[in-house]
Copies of this chain bind each other. A is one copy, B any other.
Amino acid sequence: MQSYGHIPEATVARLPIYLRALVDLASTGASTISSEELAELSGVNAPKLRKDLSYLGTYGTRGVGYDIDYLRFEVSSALGLGNTWPVVVCGFGNLGRALANHTGFTQRGFPILAAIDTDPTKIGHTFDGVPVHAPGEMPAVVTGHGIAIGVICTPVGASQGAADRLVAAGVRSILSFSPIVLTVPDDVDLRSVDLSTQLQILGFHLQESADDE
């Protein structure tokens, strides 16, 4: 697999945004796009976009722009999306099941192969193609499925325990939907999604408008 030099973290965070725009563009039948247009679709300025893509060794052609399919391949490769990273979901309530039904995860190389839940009516059963196991089965689930990533969708009070069990079972990449800050060892890559952050930004704009009136 191609090896990239160091890509800055802020660039890494924008690559999924570019990829999403490129996938949308490809679905419209377009074959090339200018850096200005792609930048606008992605909500960044064009010099920043060009700089970001230069880390991938990718440069547009003057007067033509970028080849959409090729750029999509390059960004996907940089993101490791040629690979498959099996996922276990901890907490198989509404949010966990919503993620299991989210076709985008499997398409992007993150198949949800198992779930962990404490509900005895769920354990041992399969929902939406995902088998549900008891918390004590975590080590066997991680080893058996070659789990690379754990996603935490439990109620708040159970989220630190879920993180601890993932870490103990050897999982080193965790995505948390818990609204509290979780504690993990330094060698664990923990990322959080706070579902209310974007709502708060909308609220800020609403208040600005209200203040103007």
> A: which residues have CB within 8 A of B?
1, 3, 12-13, 15-17, 19-21, 24, 41, 78-81, 83, 85, 87, 93-95, 97-99, 101-102, 104-105, 108-110, 148-149, 151, 153, 173, 175, 179-181, 189, 191-208, 210-211
Contacts and interface: CB of A to CB of B under 8 A. Distances in A.
B78 A204 contact: yes
Copies of this chain present in the complex amount to 2
Contacts of A206: 80, 83, 85, 148-149, 173, 189
Closest 7 CB pairs of A and B: A80-B207, A94-B98, A95-B98, A16-B197, A16-B200, A94-B97, A173-B202
Contact of A24 (B12, B151, B180): B180
B85 A93 contact: no
A204 B80 contact: yes
A196 B83 contact: no
25 contacts: A1-B207, A16-B201, A19-B200, A79-B200, A79-B203, A79-B207, A80-B206, A80-B208, A80-B210, A85-B199, A85-B202, A85-B203, A87-B199, A93-B101, A94-B95, A99-B195, A102-B195, A102-B196, A105-B195, A149-B199, A149-B203, A151-B199, A173-B205, A175-B199, A193-B193
Contact of A198 (B21, B81, B175, B196): B175
Nearest to A200: B16
Contact of A94 (B87, B94, B110, B201): B94
A191 B43 CA distance: 11
Nearest to A99: B195
A208 B85 CA distance: 13
B196 A201 contact: no
Nearest to A191: B198
A70 B34 CA distance: 47
A123 B101 CA distance: 22
A191 B173 CA distance: 27
